[in-house]
Amino acid sequence: MSNIPDPLPKPLDHLAECGARDDPALILRDVTLTHGELGKRVGLLAGWLGQQLPTPGARVATWAAKGELTCLMPLAAARAGVVHVPINPLLKRAQAAHILADSGAMMLIANKARLKSLEEGDCGAGCAAWEEGQALEAAYASGVTLPASAHDSDDLTAILYTSGSTGRPKGVMLSHANLWLGAVSVAHYLKLSADDVTLAVLPLSFDYGQNQLLSTWLAGGSVAPLDYLFPRDVMKACAKHNITTLAAVPPLWVQLTELEWSEDSTQAMRRLTNSGGALTRDLVTDLRGIFSDAHLFAMYGLTEAFRSTFLDPDLIDTHPTSMGTAIPFAEILVVDDDGQLAEPGEEGELVHCGPLVAQGYWQDPERTAQRFKPAPVASNYGGMAVWSGDRVRRDHDGLLYFVGRRDAMIKSAGNRISPQEVEEAAIASGMVAEAIALGIPDDRLGHAVHLIVRTSGNIADADAQLPKYLSRELPNFMQPKVIHWRDAMPLNPNGKIDRTALYRELTE
């Protein structure tokens, strides 16, 4: 895709019409749907939704594993003019109940076990509950189909809830234009094509995960959804389906690099994409060693604006920790504490402007006002922008580097410490595979640095050697007061290391 295809936003459901009719689009466990069959089933599911939920903008929630229903629903709901609310299948009853109540969902489609887990009142008054197989059967049997829609591209079409690891989940409101332009942007800079096969391992309730579907279908390619139990399942699926595109977050990449990859599982791979956390130099080296012929894309994003930056894979070896530059349709500004554009090398807040910016948080004007504010005067787009709260710096070549979240910075004995800097030093030692640095309340220091690590298994006496290594590599004020060793790190539903769970563990 050498040129950005038709950048004007369209109704999201037009993605069902993008691929060649007889080319594969969705590789399910027992059947592969062509793009023609995908479009037909999207039309039938949309027709049934329109019958069941005749009020425009009504919310339909799905709470199920990856499969035909959860893959088709983003496009079918958009065509029907209703709003899709995907619930991560890893969430438990209480979290799902909150999302159902907060969104005001009028329909829930889930598997039998999840429906049985709900208590009276969880689904809300007037909310119809359907088992996923029965819903699909009813939709296809109805014979009512809807053609590609003419909805306004600014209409709300999805509410994606944050994982909830830092408090009550927030529902991010996304329009047809947000999701359409996100698909166009990613398909363009990844250079996706009709012969690409994407392995969808990330949750479809996660903006990064959902875009795996949308960008691949826009390019005319096919998607193989996978809910894996073990990292080895991912490797096997890559071989089985001749996967060309694999997206993951750092904790999964770490696990995948610990496997012995066979040639048949890597030979078709063209690109790897990372978001949801920064890559380390060692992880880049390991991934480049396993997938020597694949391009590695380091990316940064936030649900409130989907995706902000990517690094040209030609620069990954020389700039392995960079976030890169703005993706198509995004304008990324670095703003200092006085509201002015930061100078090269100066730290500031990342502000995302442009048409990928979401419409705010569902029914939460207070938190919307905190994050969605007028763009800086220097913005070319203007309008509302997302003030990310993430601290970054731009070098003299224009490349961006993540420093840390404003609310995650550790303030110890008057010093401001970036957790990422401590974590990178620990990983660079070669003694640990994963590391998280937290500021834990301390009577003397205000906050003390606590480092939680998972061993790499390379050094027998790592518990004794790591403190010595860090004492040489980090200044005194950054030294961890305590190092906690773990056999495994807790993960949130999107597969990222759950910092909040670790913090609770160390403070309760």
Token pair for 333: 């500004």
Integer Cα distance of 113 and 93 in angstroms: 11
**Neighbouring residues of 365: CB distance < 8 A, sequence distance ≥ 6:** none
Alpha-carbon distance of 498 to 495, in angstroms, equals 8
Contact indicator for 232, 260 with CB cutoff of 8 Å = no
pLDDT band, very low/low/confident/very high, at 166 (cuts 50, 70, 90):
very low
**Nearest-CA neighbor of 44 among 128, 176, 132, 135?**
135
Contact 272, 259 (CB under 8 A): no
Q: Which of 25-39, 152-166, 210-224 has the lowest mean pLDDT?
A: 152-166
- The residue-averaged pLDDT of 118-147 equals 94
Cα distance between residue 241 and residue 24, in whole Å: 12
Order of all β-strands in the sheet with 107-110: 128-131, 107-110, 59-63, 83-86, 156-161, 171-175
pLDDT in tens, 182-222: 999 999 999 999 999 999 999 999 999 999 999 999 999 99
What's the mean pLDDT in 6-11?
A: 85
Structure tokens that stand for 265 in this block: 């599982």
Label each residue of 472-495 as H, E or C: HHCCHHHCCCEEEEECCCCECCCC
Polymer length of the chain? 508
Q: What is the pLDDT of residues 350-366, one digit of tens each?
A: 999 999 999 999 999 99
CB 358 within 8 A of CB 178: yes
Per-residue model confidence as pLDDT tens digits over 305-326: 999 999 999 999 999 999 999 9
- The 3-class secondary structure across 188-228, one letter per residue, is HHCCCCCCCEEEECCCCCCHHHHHHHHHHHHCCCEEEECCC
The per-residue pLDDT for range 411-441, each reduced to its tens digit, is 787 677 888 889 988 998 999 999 999 999 8
Nearest Cα residue to 325 out of 401, 247, 273: 401
The chain-wide mean pLDDT, for the chain, equals 93
Q: Give the burial class of 226: count Cβ atoms within 10 A of its Cβ; 0-12 exposed, 13-18 middle, 19 or more buried.
A: buried
| Model confidence at 67: pLDDT above 50 | yes
Per-residue pLDDT band at 165 (split at 50, 70, 90): very low
DSSP code of residue 336: -
Whether 407 has a pLDDT exceeding 80, the answer reads no
Predicted pLDDT at 167 = 52
Would the pLDDT of 127 be above 50?
Answer: yes
175, with CB counted inside 10 A (0-12, 13-18, 19+), is buried
> What percent of the chain has a predicted confidence (pLDDT) above 90?
80
The average pLDDT across 88-112 equals 92
Is the torsion defined by CA of 365, 371, 375, 381 positive or negative? negative
pTM: 0.86
What integer is the mean pLDDT of 442-449? 84
- Alpha-carbon gap, residue 230 to 153, rounded angstroms: 39
pLDDT of res. 410: 86
Pick the more confident residue, 336 or 415.
336
Q: Locate 133 and state its tokens.
A: 């197989």
Q: Which residues contact 241 (CB under 8 A, 6 or more apart)?
A: 27, 197, 199, 224
Q: Is the pLDDT of residue 1 over 70?
A: no
Instruction: Give the pLDDT mean for 462-486.
Output: 91
How many CB atoms neighbour CB 409 within 10 A?
16
Tokens of 5: 């295809």
The tens digit of pLDDT for each residue in 278-287 reads 888 889 999 9
